[in-house]
Every structure is written in structure tokens, then in C-alpha cells.
Amino acid sequence: GLLRERGAQVIGPEDGPLAEGESGPGRLTEPNAIVAALAGLHAPAPAEPPPSSELKGLRVLISAGPTYEDIDPVRYVGNRSSGKMGYALAAAAARLGAQVVLVSGPVQLATPAGVQRVDVRSAAQMREAVLGALPADIYIGAAAVSDYTPRQVAPQKLKKTADTQSLTLELVRTPDILAEVATQTNALKLVVGFAAETHDVEKYARGKLVDKRLDLVIANQVGISTGGFESDENAATAYWQGGEQVFPGTSKAVLAEQLLSLIAQRLHA
């Protein structure tokens, strides 16, 4: 809107189920997200590297952030992804000369300069937006898409009663966006996936590389001090058929530049 165009940081509203069974924009942003957004306003801005043309003329499609799968108008199934890595990649790709489309789950981050942003909430919406943004030269699937979604969304808030000691939710699989995108061989030149694992990182990353027929997998271990979800820092290892490259812990902005340099190399390999 006009305020964002003038540089104002706007927090919310969120999109999703509302009262009386309706759905749309108007949900209050979660308090912890508001606090995080306010804290970010006082954080020093990273130094901008000089513009580069490493990706000039290429269309780069990036998905970032979490997805929220609604249970009722108040609750949802989600995850801890902040979207910071995906947004750092989008910002870096734009600085490297690419035309960037960023499909974003619910996050409180400013849109990077020169980036076209498409906001979504659920896995189904993200799939529709990603497939609708093809063709592209490069797809980077940095979003933490929910693996499961409630089979039914309650039109009203589920109330607890004196007799209610447990609640059972039936969950069904969500579409595998990354695997589906990887089949679009006529619409893409390079498909990059992310793998956030708690253990056996290389095993699962290489399995993902083969099973989903990806060109590159960027893997990192979550739950440790080197970064990951909600952190401004991260460490990662990139895997491809016949090779790998380790990226030690650094800021996500710097890591994004390093990863895109590798991605550009793999595009022309």
C-alpha cells in the first residue's frame, strides 16, 4: 500500500479465518511476531555490497517462510521458520541482477528492493502461487512448507469443556511443491531445495536430492548454536551429484551471496 511505498514498516494484518466463519485479511499478528518486527527496526542494517550482474537477465523464483494450516479461526498448525534465509536470497539475487519473484508465507519482514512479492498463508496457496509464477530460470525452495494440514477446518473456535480431556486432529498430506516443480523440466533450468534436519544431515539431504530429482540441496542442522530457524546466522552444506561444498557459520545475508554464487556456477556446469 501507500505506507509501504513510502518506507513505513507495517505489521499485519494477517490473512486467514475470522469470526463468524469468514476468511480474509484482518487477523491480529501474533504478539511474538510483533515484538520481533519491532526489534528488527532497531537492528543495524547490513552493509550493501556493490551491484553485480552475475544473474543478470535470469528469472529467479524463491519460496520463503512457513505455511500456516488452519485448525479453526484462532488456531493453526505451523512451524518456526522466520523466512530470513529466503528473504536474504531474494535480496541478494536482485542485487546480482536477477528478476526475482518471492512467494512468501506469513512473516514480518520487509520486501527486499527490486523484488516482486506474493503473500500466501497455506501450503495449497503456496503451491498455486509457485506454479503460477513459472517459467523461471532458477527455483529456490527455501520455504518450510507444512507436511500435513487438517482434513477439515472448523468454522468456529473449538471450545474446551469440562468433559473434554483430549482433542484428536486428523491430518492429511500437503502437496510436495518442490517435487512437483522439479518435474517442470521445460519451465526451469535449475531447481534448488533446502533441507533443515536435526540429525543425519548428509544422508537426508542426498536422499532428497535423488528422490525429488533436484539439481542442488542446501542442508543445515537445526537445533544447534550455528543458526537455523529464527536466527540471523546460519551454516550450511550444499550437495549435488558428485560434489558438495561447506559454508561455515556466518550471517544469512553473507551466506545468501555465497550460495547464489554457487548456484550461478551450477547453472552453467
101: which 3 cell numbers?
519473484
Is-above-0.85 flag for pTM? no
Res 23: pLDDT: 66
Sign of CA dihedral 33, 141, 184, 134: positive
Q: Which sequence positions are flagged as catalytic?
A: 79
Res 222: pLDDT: 75
Res 11: pLDDT: 77
Res 116: pLDDT: 96
Exposure string over 24-54, b if 16+ CB within 10 A, otherwise e: eeebeeeeebeebbeeeeeeeeeeeeeeeeb
Give me the residues paired with residue 194 across strands: 218
Q: State the Cα–Cα distance between residues 236 and 87, nearest whole angstrom.
A: 16
| 248 preceded by a cis bond (ω within 30 of 0) | no
Q: State the Cα–Cα distance between residues 263 and 111, nearest whole angstrom.
A: 22
Bridge-based pairing state of the strands 233-240 and 216-221: antiparallel
Sign of CA dihedral 149, 155, 157, 163: negative
Sign of CA dihedral 180, 182, 183, 186: positive
Q: Choose the CATH number for 56-151+170-267 among 3.40.1010.10, 3.40.50.10300, 1.20.1440.230, 1.20.58.2050.
A: 3.40.50.10300
What value, to the nearest 5°, has the Cα angle with vertex 178 and ends 175 and 180? 65
Q: State the Cα–Cα distance between residues 92 and 98, nearest whole angstrom.
A: 9
Q: Are 49 and 95 within 8 A, CB to CB?
A: yes
214: which 3 cell numbers?
533436484
Q: Report which of 158, 162, 141, 159 is spatially closest to residue 150, judged by C-alpha positions.
A: 158
Exposure string over 146-164, b if 16+ CB within 10 A, otherwise e: beebbeebbeeeeeeeeee
| 13 preceded by a cis bond (ω within 30 of 0) | yes
Q: Are 216 and 266 within 8 A, CB to CB?
A: yes
Res 104: pLDDT: 97
Domain ranges of the chain: 56-151+170-267
Chunk the chain into consecutive blocks of 10 residues (it has 269) and report each block's average pLDDT, rounded to whole numbers: 64 69 70 64 52 82 97 93 94 95 95 95 97 96 96 92 88 96 91 89 90 93 59 88 91 93 89
Res 161: pLDDT: 85
